[in-house]
Amino acid sequence: MNKIEGMNQCKSSYLFRRFAANILNSMSSTTLNQQAIFPVSQMAEHLIGSEIIKLANEVNERINQGEKIANLTIGDFDPKVFPIPIKLRDEIIKAYEEGHTNYPVANGMLDLRKAVVDYVSRNQKLKYTADEILIAGGARPLIYAIYATLLDPGDKVIYAVPSWNNNHYCHLFRAEGIQIEAFPEDNFMLTATSIKPYIKEAKLLALCSPQNPTGTVFTKAQLQAICDVVMAENIRRGADEKPLYVMYDQIYSALTYGDVEHFDPVTLCPELRPYTVFVDGLSKAFAATGIRVGWSFGPANVIDKMKSILSHIGAWAPKAEQIASARFMNDHDALDAYMVHFRKEVEERLRNIYKGFEALQNEGFAVRCIDPKAAIYLTIQFDLKGKKKKDGSIIQTTEDITAFILGEAKLAIVPFSAFGASTESTWYRLSVGTCKKEQIPDMIAQLREALNSLQ
């Protein structure tokens, strides 16, 4: 470096330091200790985080400070109450001991995809090939990939409210959500009549059964009527127009109770197979939310594009967990035995709480509960607006109801507004994934006491 080059480099360095100093000096004393905020994308700027996780975290903070609260908010499991299958646990440990810690193949380990083929065949009598299966780190990346594969900015998506996260996925992909309010008389499920006025403008119909947050399911007649409407629309569109696809989230399909059956679009209407993409996985059926093994199956061309998208994101399920899941799923006796026990334990909690709410309703309290049909959720209502509390204040909003139930009954539940429903709705989701059976009588008694304090 010659003398002139050295002087120029020193000058540039000096100017840069002066520039940085000027930025810092321009900040007021109140912002010196704060991180500077610069613009981000419009999508990120207006994206809302999970309302459910936010509420659950707030409740857990209160519990950590010593409050005794029944936290029935999040759709997760307490491993001490609902441990994963022993066979699955042992196979995960074994897979790590065998050294399976490198990348899995992009669409999932072949043994697991074959196990999913067998699982789908056994449980739904549907015949798919391993090339029509995609493995990912739970259901969320798969739903993300479905939206990314099937939608362009401005495309319209039909979904029910309340429902889980469709509003957020629409925001992520600049799609336009067509939110259709579902009602208790329809078990909070969409109907053919409700979607028909919007069917011609939509590119995706997002369905979930059993439904999160309601724990309700499509009846055969309900789903058949929807399938007929979708198929008729795709015939009308022909080969020159983008078809109407169906995303069918059945992550809770193994958890149905009594004589309730799970139905799916392709079984009821085989002609819908080229337009239907399923979402499923281990997370809910085997209390394995942290294992992060989910799968999607559907038309090979769609699954292949989803694989490409997820390969760039790296949203794979860990290789060891995939190998372990395949071994567990191929042990039909272990799988079936776990499901019988697990389903019984979840249903017992749901029904005991339901009976408690029935008793409260029969005593004249302004509560209501939908008969549990599936999943790990109860749909409950607190029609408390206009009631006077002990301090003389009046419950006026759903936020007031939520605060009252949490503060006085020490019961943490999620309002349907967190799932896209109106903020005026007085319906709530109650999750039993962390609920101990012996807690239920005290929980109902405390709720009764709180409701009794209202005038």
Cβ partners under 8 Å of residue 158, min gap 6: 178, 180, 190, 195, 198, 199, 202, 204, 205, 206
What is the pLDDT, as a whole number, of residue 57? 82
Q: Model's pTM, two decimal places?
A: 0.90
Q: pLDDT tens digits, residue range 149-203? A: 999 999 999 999 999 999 999 999 999 999 999 999 999 999 999 999 999 999 9
**Higher pLDDT among residues 15 and 446, named by residue:** 446
pLDDT band at 21 (very low <50, low <70, confident <90, very high): low
Average pLDDT, the chain: 92
CA dihedral (83, 80, 407, 389) in degrees, to 10, reads 70
Q: How far apart are CA 70 and CA 360, in angstroms?
A: 18
Q: Is the pLDDT of residue 12 over 70?
A: no
Write 67-71 long-range contacts (CB < 8 A, 24+).
Answer: 67/410, 68/410, 69/406, 69/410, 69/411, 69/412, 70/410, 70/411, 70/412, 70/435, 70/439, 70/443, 71/412, 71/434
Topology given in CATH for the domain delimited by 51-80+337-452: Aspartate Aminotransferase, domain 1 (3.90.1150)
Fold (topology level) of 86-331: Aspartate Aminotransferase; domain 2 (3.40.640)
Question: Tokens 């807690």 — which residue?
Answer: 439
Segment 89-126, tens digit of pLDDT: 999 999 999 999 999 999 999 999 999 999 999 999 99
Share of residues in the chain with pLDDT > 70 (%): 92
Q: Above 90 in pLDDT, residue 141?
A: yes
Q: E strands of 250-334, at which residues?
A: 276-281, 294-297
Q: Percentage of residues in the chain with pLDDT exceeding 90?
A: 84
Is the separation of the CB atoms in 247 and 279 below 8 Å?
yes
Lookup result for tokens 């981000």: 40
H helices present in 151-191, as ranges: 166-172
Q: Residue 416, Cα to own-chain centre: how many angstroms?
A: 13
- Non-local (6+) Cβ contacts of 383 within 8 A are 366, 367, 368, 426
Position with higher pLDDT, 15 vs 207: 207
Helix (H) or strand (E) holding 442: helix 440-452
Where exactly are the structural domains of the chain?
Answer: 51-80+337-452, 86-331
